[in-house]
Amino acid sequence: MNMSLLLKLTFKSIFNRKFTSYLTLFSICISVFLLLGVDTVRKEAKHSFTNTISGTDLLVGARSGSVQLLLYSVFRIGNATNNIGWDSYNKISSHRSVAWSIPISLGDSHKGFRVMGTSQAYFEHYRFADNQALTFENGKAFSAVYDTVIGADVAKMLGYQLGDELTLAHGVYDTDFARHDDKPFVLTGILERTGTPVDRTIHVSLQGIEALHIDWKTGTRSRDQVNAQQALDSNLQPKQITAFMLGLHSKMEIFRVQRAINNYKKEPMLAVLPGLALGELWQLIGVAEKALLVIAVFVLLNSFVGLLTVILTSLNERRREMAILRSLGCRPNQIFVLLTLESLLFAVVGCVLGVFLFLVVIVSSQPLLQGYGLHLSLSSLGFEQLILIASVIGASFLIGSIPGYRAYKQSLADGMSIKL
């Protein structure tokens, strides 16, 4: 019996058991889809996390730990141990190796969202994910002292629209006595969703931060209050900032500039590489990645066990079919090849359907997933995923050899006998 006849028998056997065949293909398809999905989400979650900030060469703040600096300057979590003098910032940002700088001033809030004072350079140079720039869903960047730009989550959760007024609060707790209700800000722009802490941030100018605190001393409002118009007539030059980001002309200059900042004599500062700090932070909270890896392994094992169970069950139901083939002159090794080919065909077709379903889901859910910081694309199906698919097909071939071996060892009388 030649190979073409074996293939013909394999296809006829599969089509004669349509319900079982469809069920087996569905099981393999879903298993491959889940395996690719979990593995891709696991890797993209880490990739998106490490790309919360992109294109920034150095992150600079008061001397503390690199993770703490990253948390308050990028993720808006916690507070700085100290501030940085405006003169120090100007001196470092004007260094010949520095291409651009973004000042950051933190300390205020609005209904649970952090307020960040910055400059126009933030909208020009800040990057996230794969070097993506900030874009506006509506409006534009702030231009006046009392203008503000909010992230997508702030707009969605608080229902703000362009032209609305926001009353900011002193500190991270929005209480009545801490509100800057005499200096409301006007919403001029809403940023597109990024899946990063930018979505939960309220952006104002550094001059706006100074105007808010012009009549505040040591955390409390002074008796000599200054209204919004009087503040505009005052000197709103910042005296201190919380941190700043640097972009350099050449990557070769990073370590030299970092060393110079860390050894800065006028005040203690710390310069870190955002990528290294993000990697360090991921090691602390990377339990989720390990959990997803374990889930991916169990999904793979489940697909193998399911395939083996289906084939072994069908083998018991097809004992008489095997016996008839033997009686017609089919040798034991040909029965073995027949069953092995059957499992291989199930695996190949199931993998193709699983990959197709995976790609359809990625394309259809890409905007939704991007809102949660997962930037999936068709390129997510890379070499490693193809290795996984090849492993599933190879393992299915080996699994198919188990019932094939059982059929190989069965005698003709075993197939013709009736088991109660």
pTM over 0.75? The answer is no
Query: 406, exposed or middle or buried, with CB in 10 Å at 0-12, 13-18, 19+?
Result: middle
pLDDT at 404: 65
Amino acid at 60: V
The confidence band for 376, taking pLDDT boundaries of 50, 70 and 90, is low
Average pLDDT over residues 402-410: 66
Task: Count other C-beta atoms under 10 Å from residue 131's C-beta.
Answer: 9
Q: Give the H or E element holding residue 260.
A: helix 254-262
Given a cut of 50, whether residue 418 has pLDDT beyond it is no
**pLDDT (average), residues 326-335:** 68
Q: Which of 162-176, 210-224, 349-363 has the highest mean pLDDT?
A: 349-363
Tell me what percent of the residues of the chain surpass a pLDDT of 90: 40
**Minimum mean pLDDT range among 57-61, 125-129, 275-279, 331-335:** 331-335
Residue whose entry in the numeric block shows the structure tokens 């050894």: 263
C-alpha angle with apex 284: 382 to 241, nearest 5 degrees? 100
Question: What mean pLDDT do residues 127-136 have?
Answer: 90
Q: Which of 204, 195, 133 has its CA nearest to residue 371?
A: 195
Mean pLDDT of 79-89: 93
Q: Of 42-56, 120-134, 181-195, 247-261, give the lowest mean pLDDT range.
A: 42-56
More confident residue, 24 or 59: 59
pLDDT of residue 415: 47
pLDDT for 107: 87
119, 145 in Cβ contact below 8 A? no
Q: Residue 277 is encoded by which pair of tokens? A: 């700090």
The proportion of the chain whose per-residue pLDDT surpasses 70, expressed as a percent, equals 79
Highest mean pLDDT among 188-192, 299-303, 392-396: 188-192
Work out the average pLDDT over 351-365.
Answer: 87
Whether 236 contacts 211, CB under 8 Å:
yes
Question: Is the CB of residue 165 less than 8 Å from the CB of residue 228?
Answer: no
User: Has residue 161 got a pLDDT over 60?
Assistant: yes
For 32-62, the DSSP string reads HHHHHHHHHHHHHHHHHHHTSSBS--EEEEE
Mind listing the pLDDT tens digit for each residue in 268-282?
999 999 989 988 888
Question: Is the pLDDT higher at 85 or at 302?
Answer: 85
| 100: three-class secondary structure by DSSP | strand
Distance CA 155, CA 153 (A): 5
Q: Regarding predicted confidence, which is higher, 23 or 80?
A: 80
Most confident of 35-39, 126-130, 262-266, 401-405: 262-266
The band of 377, judged by pLDDT with boundaries at 50, 70 and 90, is low
Q: pLDDT at position 399, please?
A: 77
Across the range 239-261, mean pLDDT stands at 95
Average pLDDT over residues 109-128: 94
Which positions ≥6 away from 368 have C-beta within 8 Å?
A: none
User: What would the two tokens of residue 340 be?
Assistant: 């092995």
Mean pLDDT of the 17-25 span: 75
**What is the pLDDT averaged over residues 85-110?**
95
Per-chain mean pLDDT for the chain: 83
Is residue 158 pLDDT above 80, yes or no?
yes
Residue 291 has pLDDT above 90, yes or no: no
Whether 350 has a pLDDT exceeding 80, the answer reads: yes
Residue-level pLDDT at 371: 61
